[in-house]
């Protein structure tokens, strides 16, 4: 049996969709050949996954095969044209119908909320707000899987890099405060970020004393983090550069005791590596994110919550609410994180 998954972006979606590779292999056995088409930028997220037999970046690589089933999980026209050129017994997900994006009946729960919803964008946005099912629950039905769990396969050289570059402290708490400029409403407001850092460093947070704060971000976000560290001149406040690869980002996140983040790749990499987290949401859906028993969420209370607007009101995402959510995390007890101290 030969299955193909077509999932190129966004990076966080690639991470959480990759959980189903192991689940499919477990369900269908060693006779399943699982191929995957993704974007080159996603290669580091998938290349070490032992459950993926073929990792391809071009549809030409898939043309020699006839697939028993294609899971077509992106809806861009160029991608759907590539899917249409392949040979398959069946397709689940998005496809071209009269040169326009459409989707199969066994994937409606997801694509009804998407850009090419059969109901139109306005109703799709309403459905996103009304949705009470997580990504894992929806995609378990799409893949025909009863149980899935987060997982990530980390490059050992990157793990060693993280061990050498992260601070030595009783607790390492990461904050991913920015969003690369693309989603300003995903970012913490500057004064709330400052208050949050102060609480973490002065020992009054649920983590107690001896906490180091690690600012996570690449590119222009790393530059902002560096400036923040330089202005505050506080012990145990560092910015880590993960520009080299997403595996370096994954290693930095995996070396934390806790992550505070927006709905972002960093959050998904924390979940995939079972790092406890608190995530905050303004333009995107908190319900859709699985907490897997290790996370808590802070959702905007503004009227435009879950509007998928880049300028959504994020003023209700406060340091107070984040600290309260951290204290409610099942992995936090007795004023300390539920993991062993770092050496």
Reported as a single tens digit per residue, the pLDDT across 225-272 is 999 999 987 889 999 999 999 999 999 999 999 999 999 999 999 999
336 has pLDDT over 50: no
**Structure confidence by residue, pLDDT tens digits, 53-72:** 999 999 999 999 999 999 99
Q: Tell me the per-residue pLDDT of 93-132, one tens digit each, with 9 for 90 and over.
A: 999 999 999 999 999 999 999 999 999 999 999 999 999 9
User: What is the per-residue pLDDT for 337?
Assistant: 43
- Residue 47 DSSP SS3: coil
The pLDDT confidence band at residue 333, using thresholds 50, 70 and 90, is low
Name 194's bridge partners. Answer: none
Taking all residues of the chain, what is their mean pLDDT, rounded to a whole number? 94
Residue 15 is predicted with a pLDDT of: 98
- Reported as a single tens digit per residue, the pLDDT across 274-294 is 999 999 999 999 999 999 999
**Ordered alpha helix ranges (H), the chain:** 11-28, 43-46, 77-84, 108-111, 121-130, 135-143, 156-165, 190-201, 220-232, 246-254, 265-272, 319-328
CA–CA distance, 342 with 173 (Å, rounded to integer): 11
Average pLDDT over residues 17-23: 98
pLDDT digits (tens, 9 = 90+) for 154-166: 999 999 999 999 9
- The whole-number pLDDT of residue 343 equals 36
pLDDT > 70 fraction of the chain, expressed in percent and rounded: 97
**Domains and their CATH numbers in the chain:** 2-143 (3.40.50), 157-337 (3.40.50.2000)
R_g of the chain, CA atoms, integer Å: 21
Element (H, E) at 212: strand 211-217
Return the pLDDT at 279: 98
User: Is 334's pLDDT higher than 60?
Assistant: no
Burial class of 21 by CB neighbour count within 10 A (0 to 12, 13 to 18, 19+): buried
Kindly report the number of other CB atoms within 10 A of residue 39's CB atom. Answer: 15
What does the DSSP assignment read for 92-152?
EEEEEETTEEEE-GGGHHHHTTSTT-TT-HHHHHHHHHH----HHHHHHHHHT-S------
Nearest CA to 6 out of 101, 89, 75 is that of 75
**Residue that has been written with the tokens 């930028």 in this structure:** 41
Q: ∠ CA 188-165-163 to the nearest 5 degrees?
A: 110
Measured distance CA(137)–CA(134) in Å, rounded: 5
Tokens 């004023």 sit on residue? 335
Q: What confidence category does residue 74 fall into, taking pLDDT thresholds of 50, 70 and 90? A: very high
Please state the rounded mean pLDDT for residues 145-151: 96
**What per-residue confidence (pLDDT) applies to 235?**
81
Tell me the C-alpha to C-alpha distance, in Å, between residue 67 and each of 63, 83, 223. Answer: 10, 11, 46
């Amino acid at each position: 049996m030969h299955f193909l998954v077509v999932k190129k972006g966004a990076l966080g979606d690639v991470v959480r969709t990759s959980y189903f590779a192991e689940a499919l292999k477990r369900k269908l056995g060693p006779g399943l050949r699982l191929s995957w088409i993704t974007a080159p930028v996603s290669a580091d997220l998938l290349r070490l996954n032992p459950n993926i037999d073929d990792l391809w970046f071009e549809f030409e690589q898939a043309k020699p095969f006839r697939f028993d089933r294609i899971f077509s999980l992106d809806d861009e026209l160029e991608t759907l044209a590539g899917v249409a050129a392949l040979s398959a017994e069946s397709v689940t997900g998005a496809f071209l119908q009269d040169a326009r994006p459409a989707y199969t009946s066994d994937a409606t729960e997801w694509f009804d909320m998407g850009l090419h919803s059969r109901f139109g964008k306005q109703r799709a946005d309403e459905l996103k707000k009304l949705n009470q099912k997580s990504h894992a629950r929806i995609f378990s039905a799409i893949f025909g899987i009863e149980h899935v769990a987060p997982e990530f396969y980390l490059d050992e050289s990157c793990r060693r890099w993280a061990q050498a570059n992260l601070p030595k402290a009783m607790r390492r708490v990461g904050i991913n405060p920015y969003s690369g400029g693309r989603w300003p409403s995903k970012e913490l407001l500057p004064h709330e970020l400052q208050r949050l850092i102060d609480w973490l460093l002065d020992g009054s947070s649920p983590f107690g004393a001896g906490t180091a704060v690690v600012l996570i971000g690449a590119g222009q976000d790393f530059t902002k983090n560096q400036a923040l560290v330089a202005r505050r001149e506080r012990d145990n406040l560092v910015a880590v550069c993960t520009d080299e690869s997403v595996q370096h980002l994954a290693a930095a996140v995996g070396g934390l005791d806790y992550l505070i983040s927006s709905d972002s790749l960093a959050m998904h990499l924390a979940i995939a590596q079972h790092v406890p987290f608190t995530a905050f949401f303004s333009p995107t859906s908190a319900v859709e994110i699985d907490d897997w028993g290790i996370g808590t969420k802070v959702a905007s209370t503004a009227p435009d919550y879950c509007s998928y607007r880049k300028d959504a009101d994020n003023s209700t995402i406060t340091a107070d609410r984040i600290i309260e959510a951290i204290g409610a995390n099942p992995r936090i007890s007795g004023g300390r994180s539920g993991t062993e101290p770092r050496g």
